[in-house]
């Protein structure tokens, strides 16, 4: 009963990243603008791909799933941060914390695998164009997408179960703007070394394996692009692949820096900055990278706007 009172009735305090100084108020307004823009961009991308038949291909279906994941990711962390800053109520229950952890970890994991699937899709499209409809048929595309969501959710369940098994009997102030696992571990009075080893194993599976698939896929793509006879085909392939690689670099670079280091190397300020990058900036940048550098997406957007007489 004592353990239950200590754990399931725990109320945490999210210290956040902003105070009410003029500089931080400006930065908060900037984040609020980025959040609004990311919402609009990702919702628009999902709807555009759903509405326009010319975008009903495996590549754009996967892109719509990426936008959906980014949309859910930014809605998992930022609304609570915005509410806490505006209201001054920084408390969050363990149940609320667990909800954030589950969705946050699940979405990060699902996005890792989805980016690997997207790399495989580009490999098949460029290296085996005549077999593309067979090797990347709709059933296989849906299966790999569902597998990405499922594996991400499995990771979320494992991490959540471990976090809920800990008791928290020290200061309940979380030096973060959301409930991140790395920020919760120092608050536990339970031995967490076994969980930290499990976390490393999960990171290897969720990060290293997909990165290996991506690097292998793009090594083949690079060779195929170099040997392309048509300059136009080479340019189109390079544009599509460079967009994807830009997203991969942004996402995996920050995630590996955050989760592939020992816990002793983490500092609260550093963790908050890196987390802000891939939970706030990345969901805003991804649709811009794909839409601005992709003529088909840009053309489909113009077509939809013209139909509704908005341009």
Can you give the pLDDT at residue 1? 39
* DSSP-assigned states of every residue in the chain: -HHHHHHTT-EEEE--S--SSHHHHHHHHHHHHHHHHHHHHHHHHHHHHHH-GGG-SHHHHHHHHHHHHHHHHHHHHHHHHHHHHHH---EEEHHHHHHHHHHHHHHHHHHHHHHHHHHHHHHHHHH-GGGHHHHT-HHHHHHHHHHHHHHHHHHHHHHHHHHHHS-B-S--EESSSS--HHHHGGGB-S--HHHHHHHHHHHIIIIIHHHHHHHHHHHHHHHHHHT-S-HHHHHHHHHHHHHHHHHHHHHHHHHHHHHSS-GGG--HHHHHHHHHIIIIIHHHHHHHHHHHT-HHHHHHHHHHHHHTT--
Q: What is the mean pLDDT of residues 225-241?
A: 69
Choice among 21-25, 36-40, 139-143, 204-208 with the minimum mean pLDDT: 204-208
pLDDT single digits (tens) 10-66: 788 888 888 888 888 998 999 999 999 999 999 989 998 898 888 889 989 999 999
Q: Which domains are assigned to the chain?
A: 11-298 (1.20.1070.10)
pLDDT single digits (tens) 60-81: 999 999 999 999 999 999 999 9
């Amino acid at each position: 009963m004592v353990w239950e009172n200590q754990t399931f009735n725990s109320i945490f305090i999210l210290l956040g990243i902003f105070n009410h100084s003029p500089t931080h108020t400006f930065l908060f307004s900037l984040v609020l603008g980025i959040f609004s823009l990311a919402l609009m961009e990702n919702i628009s991308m999902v709807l555009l791909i759903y509405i326009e038949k010319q975008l009903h291909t495996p590549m754009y279906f996967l892109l719509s799933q990426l936008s959906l994941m980014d949309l859910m990711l930014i809605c998992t962390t930022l609304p609570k941060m915005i509410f806490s800053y505006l209201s001054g109520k920084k408390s969050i229950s363990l149940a609320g914390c667990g909800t954030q952890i589950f969705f946050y970890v699940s979405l990060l994991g699902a996005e890792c695998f989805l980016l690997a699937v997207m790399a495989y899709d580009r490999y098949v499209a460029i290296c085996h164009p005549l077999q593309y409809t067979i090797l990347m048929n709709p059933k296989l595309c849906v299966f790999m997408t569902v597998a990405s969501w499922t594996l991400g959710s499995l990771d979320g369940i494992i991490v959540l179960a471990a976090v809920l098994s800990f008791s928290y009997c020290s200061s309940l102030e979380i030096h973060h703007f959301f409930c991140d696992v790395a920020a919760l571990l120092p608050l536990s009075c339970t031995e967490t070394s076994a969980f930290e080893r499990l976390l490393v194993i999960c990171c290897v599976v969720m990060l290293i394996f997909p990165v290996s698939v991506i690097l292998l896929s793009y090594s083949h793509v690079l060779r195929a692009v170099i040997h392309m006879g048509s300059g136009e085909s080479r340019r189109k392939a390079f544009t599509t692949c460079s967009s994807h690689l830009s997203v991969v670099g942004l996402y995996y670079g920050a995630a590996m820096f955050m989760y592939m280091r020992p816990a002793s190397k983490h500092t609260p300020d550093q963790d908050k900055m890196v987390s802000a990058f891939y939970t706030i900036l990345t969901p805003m940048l991804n649709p811009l990278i794909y839409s601005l550098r992709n003529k088909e997406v840009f053309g489909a957007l113009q077509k939809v706007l013209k139909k509704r007489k908005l341009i």
